[in-house]
């Protein structure tokens, strides 16, 4: 009896232990779910305090580490270390090496912020050792971010950028979307430090793109500000100001005065460069108001320096400029600056003092500030500061009569200037912005399509209800005939509506994708053409002009094809057969490609024994052969295109043969099918839509003909057509309508 009682007690104990364990797991799950949505640190701390005694040991370790990291983000160093050490102790007790690596990584970042490089690096080594077991862990991101920060302290921006690139690769590979914006943002910041502005723009645009998909984006204002800064460094001031204004709009939503202060400060400099002195002074005054409220002496000094520069370069009031330059310099010295941002402000302040003393020809004082600028620039290792230093040195040595040194520093100045202000980089950056704008438009289209799908669902439900009414009406004998007639008519209209919507959807996707691809080269080529005209590069100008001409022909053909195809799909194209000479029409088409063929060193030959006439729609005839010959020319260079035709048994037989690049068997399978068609790039980079051959196929079928194709890679392609010389159409097919332009 005693044994049975003991077993019963053990059974009850196990049941209650299981329930208690499940409860702990549920509390931990609730904590995780809540922490993913909470935006306030205060609320997060309250939740963590409430849950700490209700969860298991593993979850307790997670909570303590999370507490430590939240204090770290608030720069409360002692509290951060206290909770991280608690988390480390728990992680060691339960032998959870991944949790331990997380705590070590966060503590290492804490030590890095305190400039305790030695201890931080020791912890990072332990972190790496633990993380090797977890190659896809998110904790690798903080590991590399900490290394980047340590490299930043040493002004080794190449190393910092290398580690930041690693965080981007890890986040993209493992789809850590919550980390992506900060990883892109850090990469952009170090790219700016290294004057790699193309990479900076690309990074900030990607950060913004990810954030804009979030309903409550955090940090969007700062990334807009940094994107604008990149454009400012590229001297694209109009674009910079556009994004500075977006940053101010976003900072107004979040009430982030710090970002607004930075934005006004940098926007003032862009406005000054566009000679908008009044706007620039207004932005500077906004910076000063916010900086003084925040007690940020670094930005007070920066705003005073910008104000001095406006009076120096735009208004040319050198006395006022000197007053503000001196005030900026003295302010930053009194601030006992230790932050890296304040180091930048110090360099700017010294820069201003060197500039004003050179202008007033006070060369001993100028030399003093140039020497100070050299010391600070060597520490920062930032190219833009180095560029200014060489310019001031050149100016100084020129004025004291040491022309040889002046020339040497002037050459160094221009070398850095040319490396930063590369025209090709500017063009690539402009393309990045266009891609970003395009993606935003595509996102808007996706949202519109969602709304359209919802509307379709409502329409389907309404149609289903209507069908029920019709069925009910069908039971009424007196209305049977009327009901049947109405039902047939409704079905026909529904079918036409579905068909029309499919056509519109396909047209929409083609225009959105391909027309954009055709227009972007015009935008890019226009900027490059302007640049070469200004530089007097005649050969480049001619080459680009030819490329523009070729692009315009391609665009014209594409638009013709779009019009013809869409009208045919919408039953707007009605054939109008007439008697035409095959030789005459083909000769006219070939002549229109003469210049393009000459440009591609390709011979187009028309071969036939005897001319004859066919009963054919002239517009359709031109669409068919213009596409076949244009297609052959697109993929043929330094070769031959031969068009053969003959009359055989009252059949118009024609072949278009080229010696071009040819096609694979996979490409041949779907060559006339518009669905999911991938266009192949021509020998000179020509792009197509895939509409052309689809049109050819449709028009030949409309004329009761057939078309076949054979091809071999690097040998060439052959299209064979067979069409009755005389066709008889039904009244509906042959309805008179104005033929399309050939």
At residue 643, the 3 state secondary structure works out as strand
Residues 518 and 554 in one domain: yes
Residues 594 and 719 in one domain: yes
Question: Is 284 inside a domain boundary?
Answer: no
Q: What confidence score (pLDDT) does residue 730 get? A: 47
228 pLDDT more than 60: yes
User: pLDDT digit string (tens) for 244-267?
Assistant: 999 999 888 878 888 898 899 889
706 pLDDT more than 90: yes
699 pLDDT more than 80: yes
Select the more confidently predicted residue: 110 or 217: 110
Q: What confidence score (pLDDT) does residue 411 get? A: 82
How far apart, in whole angstroms, are the C-alpha atoms of residue 325 and residue 173? 49
Q: What confidence score (pLDDT) does residue 440 get? A: 56
Question: Is 250 inside a domain boundary?
Answer: no
User: pLDDT digit string (tens) for 171-207?
Assistant: 888 888 888 888 998 999 988 888 888 888 899 888 8
Instruction: Classify residue 537 by burial, with Cβ atoms within 10 Å: 0-12, 13-18, 19+.
Output: middle
- Which pLDDT band, with edges at 50, 70 and 90, does 73 fall under? confident
Lowest mean pLDDT among 19-33, 36-50, 182-196, 643-657: 19-33
Question: Is 650 inside a domain boundary?
Answer: yes
Residues 718 and 581 in one domain: yes
Q: What confidence score (pLDDT) does residue 679 get? A: 62
Highest mean pLDDT among 2-16, 643-657, 724-738: 643-657
Q: What confidence score (pLDDT) does residue 18 get? A: 47
Mean pLDDT of the chain: 78
Lowest mean pLDDT among 567-581, 621-635, 716-730: 567-581
Residue 637 sits in a domain whose CATH number is 3.30.565.10
Q: What confidence score (pLDDT) does residue 570 get? A: 43
**Residue 398, by phi and psi: left (phi above 0), alpha (psi -120 to 50) or beta?**
alpha
Q: What confidence score (pLDDT) does residue 174 get? A: 87
Question: Is 401 inside a domain boundary?
Answer: no
Q: What confidence score (pLDDT) does residue 624 get? A: 92
- Which pLDDT band, with edges at 50, 70 and 90, does 505 fall under? low
**Residue 721, by phi and psi: left (phi above 0), alpha (psi -120 to 50) or beta?**
beta
- Which pLDDT band, with edges at 50, 70 and 90, does 516 fall under? low
Q: What confidence score (pLDDT) does residue 107 get? A: 83
Residues 428 and 556 in one domain: yes
Q: What confidence score (pLDDT) does residue 579 get? A: 92
**Cβ atoms 342, 330 nearer than 8 A:** no
How far apart, in whole angstroms, are the C-alpha atoms of residue 11 and residue 708? 80
Select the more confidently predicted residue: 556 or 599: 599
Residues 656 and 519 in one domain: no
Residues 535 and 603 in one domain: no
606 pLDDT more than 90: yes
**Cβ atoms 684, 550 nearer than 8 A:** yes
Average pLDDT over residues 82-90: 89
Select the more confidently predicted residue: 496 or 461: 461
554 pLDDT more than 70: no
- Which pLDDT band, with edges at 50, 70 and 90, does 675 fall under? low
Question: Is 328 inside a domain boundary?
Answer: no
Strands 603-608 and 640-648: parallel
* Residue 570: closest CA among 627, 623, 504: 504
Q: What confidence score (pLDDT) does residue 612 get? A: 93
- Which pLDDT band, with edges at 50, 70 and 90, does 43 fall under? confident
How far apart, in whole angstroms, are the C-alpha atoms of residue 269 and residue 276? 10
Q: How many domains does the chain have?
A: 2
Average pLDDT over residues 660-674: 83
Residues 430 and 499 in one domain: yes
- Domain boundary among the residues 539, 561, 583 is at 561
Lowest mean pLDDT among 543-552, 566-575, 729-738: 729-738
Cα→Cα distances 98→29, 101, 246, 311, Å: 19, 5, 41, 58
**Cβ atoms 165, 201 nearer than 8 A:** no
Question: Is 78 inside a domain boundary?
Answer: no
Give the E-state strand segments of 293-395 in sequence order.
none
Residues 6 or more apart whose CB falls under 8 angstroms from that of 454 comprise none
Cα→Cα distances 532→163, 513, 540, 544, 549, Å: 38, 30, 7, 9, 17
- Which pLDDT band, with edges at 50, 70 and 90, does 741 fall under? very low
Residues 544 and 599 in one domain: no
Residues 431 and 552 in one domain: yes
Question: Is 115 inside a domain boundary?
Answer: no
- Which pLDDT band, with edges at 50, 70 and 90, does 241 fall under? very high
User: pLDDT digit string (tens) for 303-343?
Assistant: 888 888 888 888 888 888 888 888 877 777 776 543 444 56
Q: What confidence score (pLDDT) does residue 512 get? A: 53
Query: At which residue do the structure tokens 């999911």 appear?
Result: 676
735 pLDDT more than 50: no
Structural domain of 619: 573-724
Lowest mean pLDDT among 248-257, 516-525, 580-589, 702-711: 516-525
Residues 539 and 672 in one domain: no
Question: Is 708 inside a domain boundary?
Answer: yes
731 pLDDT more than 50: no
How far apart, in whole angstroms, are the C-alpha atoms of residue 331 and residue 312? 19
Q: What confidence score (pLDDT) does residue 483 get? A: 61
Share of the chain above pLDDT 70, in %: 74
Select the more confidently predicted residue: 12 or 138: 138
**Residue 638, by phi and psi: left (phi above 0), alpha (psi -120 to 50) or beta?**
left
92 pLDDT more than 70: yes
Q: What confidence score (pLDDT) does residue 564 get? A: 57
Residues 717 and 619 in one domain: yes
- Which pLDDT band, with edges at 50, 70 and 90, does 15 fall under? very low
- Domain boundary among the residues 561, 581, 605 is at 561
- Which pLDDT band, with edges at 50, 70 and 90, does 559 fall under? low
Q: What confidence score (pLDDT) does residue 737 get? A: 35
Q: What confidence score (pLDDT) does residue 19 get? A: 45
Select the more confidently predicted residue: 244 or 5: 244
Helix extents (H) in 174-236: 180-193, 197-212, 220-233
How far apart, in whole angstroms, are the C-alpha atoms of residue 684 and residue 585? 27
Residues 555 and 602 in one domain: no
């Amino acid at each position: 009896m005693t044994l049975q009682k003991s077993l019963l007690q053990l059974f009850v104990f196990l049941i209650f232990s299981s329930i208690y364990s499940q409860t702990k797991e549920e509390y931990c799950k609730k904590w995780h779910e809540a922490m993913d949505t909470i935006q306030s640190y205060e609320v997060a701390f309250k939740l963590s305090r409430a849950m700490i005694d209700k969860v298991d040991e593993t979850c307790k370790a997670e909570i303590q580490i999370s507490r430590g990291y939240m204090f770290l983000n608030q720069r409360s160093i002692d509290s951060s270390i206290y909770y991280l050490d608690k988390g480390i102790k728990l992680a060691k007790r339960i032998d959870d090496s991944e949790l331990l690596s997380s705590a070590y990584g966060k503590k290492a970042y804490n030590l890095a912020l305190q400039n305790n490089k030695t201890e931080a690096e020791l912890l990072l080594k332990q972190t790496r050792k633990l993380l090797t077991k977890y190659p896809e862990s998110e904790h690798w991101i903080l590991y590399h971010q900490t290394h980047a920060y340590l490299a930043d302290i040493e002004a080794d921006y190449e190393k910092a950028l290398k580690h930041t690139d690693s965080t981007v690769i890890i986040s993209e590979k493992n789809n850590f979307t919550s980390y992506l914006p900060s990883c892109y943002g850090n990469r952009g910041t170090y790219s700016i430090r290294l004057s790699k502005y193309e990479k900076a723009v690309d990074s900030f645009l990607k950060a913004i793109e990810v954030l804009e998909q979030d309903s409550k984006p955090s940090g969007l204002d700062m990334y807009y500000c940094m994107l604008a800064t990149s454009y400012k460094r590229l001297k694209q001031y109009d674009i910079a100001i556009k994004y500075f204004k977006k940053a101010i709009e976003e900072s107004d939503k979040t009430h982030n005065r710090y970002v607004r202060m930075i934005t006004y400060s940098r926007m003032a400099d862009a406005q000054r460069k566009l000679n908008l002195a009044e706007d620039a002074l207004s932005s500077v005054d906004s910076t000063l108001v916010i900086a003084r409220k925040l007690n940020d002496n670094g930005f007070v000094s920066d705003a005073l320096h910008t104000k001095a520069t406006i009076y120096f370069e735009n208004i040319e009031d050198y006395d006022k400029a000197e007053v503000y330059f001196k005030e900026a310099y003295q302010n930053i010295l009194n601030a006992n600056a230790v932050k890296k941002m304040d180091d930048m402000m110090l360099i700017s302040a010294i820069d201003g003092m060197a500039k004003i003393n050179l202008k007033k020809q006070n060369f001993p004082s100028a030399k003093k500030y140039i020497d100070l600028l050299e010391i600070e620039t060597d520490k920062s290792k930032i190219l833009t500061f180095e560029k200014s230093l060489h310019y001031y040195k050149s100016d100084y040595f020129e004025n004291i009569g040491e022309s040889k040194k002046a020339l040497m520093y002037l050459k160094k100045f221009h070398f850095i200037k040319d490396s930063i202000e590369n025209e090709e980089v500017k063009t690539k950056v402009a393309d990045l912005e266009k891609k970003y704008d395009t993606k935003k438009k595509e996102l808007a289209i996706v949202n519109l399509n969602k709304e359209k799908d919802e509307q379709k669902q409502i329409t389907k439900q309404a149609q289903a209800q209507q069908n029920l009414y019709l069925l009910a009406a069908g039971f009424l004998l007196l209305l049977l005939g009327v009901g049947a007639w109405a039902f047939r008519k409704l079905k026909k209209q529904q079918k036409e509506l579905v068909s029309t919507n499919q056509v519109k959807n396909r047209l929409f996707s083609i225009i959105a994708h391909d027309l954009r691809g055709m227009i972007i080269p015009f935008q890019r080529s226009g900027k490059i053409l302007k640049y070469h005209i200004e530089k007097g590069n005649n050969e480049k100008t001619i080459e680009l002009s030819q490329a523009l001409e070729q692009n315009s022909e391609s665009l014209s053909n594409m638009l013709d094809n779009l019009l013809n195809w869409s009208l045919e799909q919408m039953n707007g194209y009605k054939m109008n057969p007439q008697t035409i000479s095959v030789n005459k029409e083909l000769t006219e088409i070939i002549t229109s490609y003469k210049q393009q063929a000459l440009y591609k060193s390709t011979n187009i030959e028309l071969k036939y024994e005897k001319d004859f006439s066919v009963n054919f729609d002239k517009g359709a005839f031109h669409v068919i052969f213009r596409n076949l010959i244009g297609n052959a020319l697109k993929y043929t260079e330094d070769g031959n295109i031969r068009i053969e035709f003959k009359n055989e048994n009252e059949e118009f037989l024609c072949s278009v043969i080229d010696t071009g690049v040819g096609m694979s068997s996979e490409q041949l399978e779907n060559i006339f099918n518009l669905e999911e068609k991938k266009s192949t790039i021509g020998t000179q980079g020509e792009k197509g839509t895939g509409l052309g051959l689809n049109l050819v196929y449709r028009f030949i079928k409309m004329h009761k003909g057939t078309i076949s194709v054979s091809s071999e890679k690097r040998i060439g392609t052959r299209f064979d057509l067979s069409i009755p010389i005389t066709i008889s159409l039904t009244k509906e097919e042959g309805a008179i309508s104005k033929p399309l332009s050939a």
